[in-house]
Structure 1
Amino acid sequence: MILEIIIVVVVIIILFAVVGIYNGLVSSRNKVKNAWAQIDVQLNRRADLIPNLIETVKGYATHEKSVFENVAKARAGLMNANGVKEIQNANNQLTNTLKSLFAVAENYPELKANENFKQLQDVLGESEDKIAYSRQFYNDTVLMYNNKCEQFPSNIFANAFNFKEADFFEAEEGARSVPKVEF
C-alpha cells in the first residue's frame, strides 16, 4: 500500500515536471514571437515614414531620381520580406539607402532648414532607436529560449516536441568593422 502511494506520488511529481518544462518552452517560444512582432512594428513604422521623407526631399532635389528609386525599392523589399534573415537583409539595405538620401539632403541647405524635413528626420531617428532597442530585446529573448532548447533536461522535451532554436537578429557585416576617421 505505501509502495503504491510512493509510486503514485513520484509519477505525479514527474508529470508536473514534464508539464512545467513543456509550458516553460511554450512560454519562451511565445516571448520570442512577441519580441519579433515588436521589431516588425518598428520596422513598419519606419517604412511608413519614408514616403513622406522622400516627398519632402524631392521638392528640393528633383534631379536625384536614382536615390529616390533606390530608397523606394529598399522600402518595398523590407515590406515584402519574410523571416528573420530576409527581413534583416532588407532592413540593412534600407538603412544604407537612407544614408544616401540624407547625404543628398546635405547638399541642399534650404532642405536641411525645412521644418518638415527636420521633424521627419527626428521621428526617423526615434524609430531607429526603437528598432535598436527592439533588436536587443529580441536577441535577449532568443538567447533565453535557445538556452532552454539546449539545456538539460528541457532539451529532451524540446527535441521530443519539435521546439526549434530561433535565429538571432544580427548586425550587417560592415557594422562590425571600426569606421575610419580622418581630420
Structure 2
Amino acid sequence: MNFFAYLFQDWRANRQNFKAQSVLFSFRLLQAFNRYTITKIIFYPYFMLYRFWVEWILGIELPRKLTIGKGLSLYHGQALVVNKSTIIGDNCVLRNSTTIGHKKLSDGTLSRSPRIGNNVDIGANVCIIGDITIGDNVIIGAGAVVTKDIPSDCIAVGNPARVLEKKN
C-alpha cells in the first residue's frame, strides 16, 4: 500500500463525516511518523499537536501505538477511549462514549487488552475490558459491558454482555 493510500484508508468508511475523516487521517499520519526513531524526533511537534487537538479538544483517545485495521468508522466520536495495546480488525465501527482497554487483576497486575475481529459494530456507551477476544461479524448493543469472549457472527447485549442470538 502506498503512503497516500495508507493515510486515506478510512476515508470511504467515514463518508460525510469530516470530523472522523480528519481524526483518522491524523491518526494514520501519526502512525506513519511513529515507525522510525528519526521521524519521531523530526515530527515531535506533530505528536504534541495530535495529542492536544484529538485527545484533549475532540475527546478521542487513539494512542499512536494502537493497532487498527483499514476502514474504521467513527460515529459521534466523543468520549472514545481505546487502550494502546488493543487490536482492532478491518471495517469496524466505534460509537461515542466507548471504552476499550485492560483491567486490573487481583494480584495488582494489568490484563492484556481486547482483540476485536473484523466487521465488528460497537454501539454507544459500550465498555469492553480485559483479556478477551471478540470474533468477526459481531454486533455489540448500546450500553453493553463486555468482559468475556464473544464468538463470531453474534449479537451481544446487556450488562454483563451475553450473546442474544447467532446471526445467519
| TM-score, normalised relative to structure 2 | 0.31
Higher strand proportion (structure 1 or 2): 2
Q: Which structure has more helix as a fraction of its residues? A: 1
TM-score after normalising by structure 1: 0.29
Decide which structure has the larger Cα Rg and report it: 1
